[in-house]
Amino acid sequence: MKSIAIIGAGYVGLVTATCFAELGNDVVCVDNNAAKVAGLEAGEIPFYEPSLAEMVTRNTQAKRLGFTTDISAAVRRAEVIFIAVGTPMRSDGHADLSAVRAVAREIGLALDGPKIVVSKSTVPVETGEMISSIIREHAPGDYAVSVVSNPEFLREGSAVSDFLKPDRVVVGCSDATAEAAMRDLYAPLDAPLVVTDVRTSEMIKYAANAFLATKISFINEIANICELLDVDVRAVCAGIGYDQRIGTKFLNPGIGYGGSCFPKDVRALEQLAVERDYPAPLLHSVELVNRRQVERTVMKFERELGGLNGKTIAVLGLAFKPNTDDVRDAPAIAIIQRLLDRGAKVRAHDPIANAAAAQVLGPNVALHDTMYDAVEGADALLLATEWNEFRSLDFTRCAKAMRGDLILDGRNIFEPEKVRAAGLRYLGVGRVKLR
């Protein structure tokens, strides 16, 4: 059992801290947002993540998990320090490493002995070397510090089970002591361990996210072509998915990928290549197809409604995917902003993310407490996020409540026949000929 400090109490940091505590380690989770730390100390989880709250409570009560704003104290008491702060996209597409740099500096200043410093944030190749040199520059003495890369592959909405039952754990490090410590930490998970050098491990994370994003843009492009040829993309997915080299996972066409990671990580990897004179045309296209998927959705409304000015669109789902309240880079938000720009009115509902969406969208969008309130008087409906409760939408009730008759199923979760039986028109993604 180890003494661990996790810096950053966001989606990754809080889940990592809680799960390592659950495995019996002594964990302190640090954040420089004092309100967040106060909330966590009072048992409030700062975001929605299934089954996390109970686990946080259990481990704080067992005194295996604590929260603080005091990074120096946390660093001094820990054998292993995880950096799990955000690495958002800069306006030029590069990863913004300012939080990672700030934390490395504070770790350096607080050093009083040998430490293992692990980067869990998603960072460009060479960041491990940067962390190492910042720590050395600020350390008060010549302490042995091993910098390890241990990227995280959890998904929001299933973060706890993804962490505890990973397909693999990747560890990039250059010394035997750090490798042994990482093997000990992850031993209870009984997952395959891929051990590499630090740079390779950093690259593995970007390659994994870029590949998954590529699968989505690929199937979205196939879906768009299917629409033009009157072919159902779902049957195409089944037909190609049985080929085990292809597989069925991550081949759901829709309104595009969103979230705090795929968009930024594809761009960051592209930028890493571009600045070394390789234009990375595939990554560029993955991103382009994704942006166009949003435009294409708006275009479908424009075409089917004969323009958007003065039209009312009901949007079901605002989070970038179900089971999270995260609206960062959510396609629903991007589509709504374009609908508003073209003069439409938007009424919307998300089971969990209404509050987060209100902060981004402001007062121009009417956010409703139920899905049926949102569809009232709408000319058309967009299913943007496939929350389970939307699967049982009562189309007859919608038909009565709506002014118009168009349902655009942005995640292909409805049966077109059921929608049509209620007297509504159905459009999916890659399911119905568009012209």
Angle between helices 52-61 and 11-22 (to 10 degrees): 50
Of 56-64, 81-89, 108-116, 211-219, the segment contacting ligand NAD by CB under 6 A is 81-89
- Among candidate residues 312, 310, 328, 309, the one with its CA nearest the CA of residue 320: 328
The residues facing 7 across adjacent strands are 30, 83
Minimum distance from residue 307 beta carbon to ligand UGA (Å): 28
- Are residues 149 and 198 in contact, defined by beta-carbon separation less than 8 angstroms? yes
**Using CB under 6 A, which of 21, 97, 103, 419 touches ligand NAD?**
103
Q: Is 23 helix (H, G, I), strand (E, B) or coil?
A: coil
Q: Which residues bind ligand UGA (CB under 6 A)?
A: 122, 152-156, 209, 212, 216, 250-252, 254, 257-259, 261-262, 320-321
Query: Judged by CB under 6 A, does residue 33 bind ligand NAD?
Result: yes
- Return the ∠ at Cα 256 (arms to 254 and 258), rounded to 5°: 130
Known catalytic residue at 261: yes
Q: How many helices (H) and strands (E) does the chain have?
A: 17, 14
To the nearest 10 degrees (0 to 180), the angle between helices 331-341 and 354-361 is 40
Say whether residue 86 binds ligand NAD (CB under 6 A): yes
Q: Return the half-sphere exposure (C-beta side, CA atoms, 13 A cut-off) of residue 306.
A: 2
Contact 358, 330 (CB under 8 A): no
- Cα 94 to Cα 267: distance, rounded to the nearest angstrom: 7
Q: Is 67 in the site for ligand NAD (CB under 6 A)?
A: no
Q: Which of 19, 237, 261, 398 is catalytic?
A: 261
* Closest distance to ligand UGA from the beta carbon of 172 (Å): 16
CA 85/CA 16 separation, integer angstroms: 12
383 binds, among ligand UGA, ligand NAD, none (CB under 5 to 8 A by kind): none
Which residue is nearest to ligand NAD, using beta carbons?
Answer: 10
Residue from 6, 27, 74, 84 in contact with ligand NAD (CB under 6 A): 84
99 sits near ligand NAD (criterion: CB under 6 A): yes
Q: What backbone phi and psi angles, to 5 degrees, belong to 113?
A: 175, 180
Alpha-carbon distance of 229 to 422, in angstroms, equals 26
**Interaction of residue 11 with ligand NAD, rule CB under 6 A:** yes
Does the annotation flag 205 for ligand binding? yes
**Of 146 and 385, CB closest to ligand UGA:** 385
Of the candidates 350, 283, 340, the residue with the CA atom closest to the CA atom of residue 315: 350
**SS3 (DSSP) at 264:** helix
**Contact status: 97 vs ligand NAD (CB under 6 A):** no
User: Residue with the closest Cβ to ligand UGA?
Assistant: 261
Distance CA 329, CA 332 (A): 9
Q: What is the smallest separation between the CB atom of 155 and ligand NAD, expressed in angstroms?
A: 6
- Contact window for ligand NAD (CB under 6 A) among 95-103, 166-174, 269-277, 357-365: 95-103
Report what 262 binds from ligand NAD, ligand UGA, none; CB cut-off 5-8 Å by kind: ligand UGA
Does 36 engage in binding with ligand NAD (CB under 6 A)? Answer: yes
**Which C-beta is closer to ligand NAD: that of 157 or that of 428?**
157
| 174: helix, strand or coil | coil
142 known ligand binder: no
388 marked ligand binding residue: no
Closer residue to ligand UGA in complex, CB, 172/259:
259
Distance CA 120, CA 83 (A): 6
- Annotated binding-site residue numbers: 31, 36, 87, 122, 153-156, 205, 250-254, 258, 264, 321, 328
- Annotated binding-site residue numbers for NAD(+): 31, 36, 87, 122, 156, 264, 328
Which residue numbers are catalytic?
261
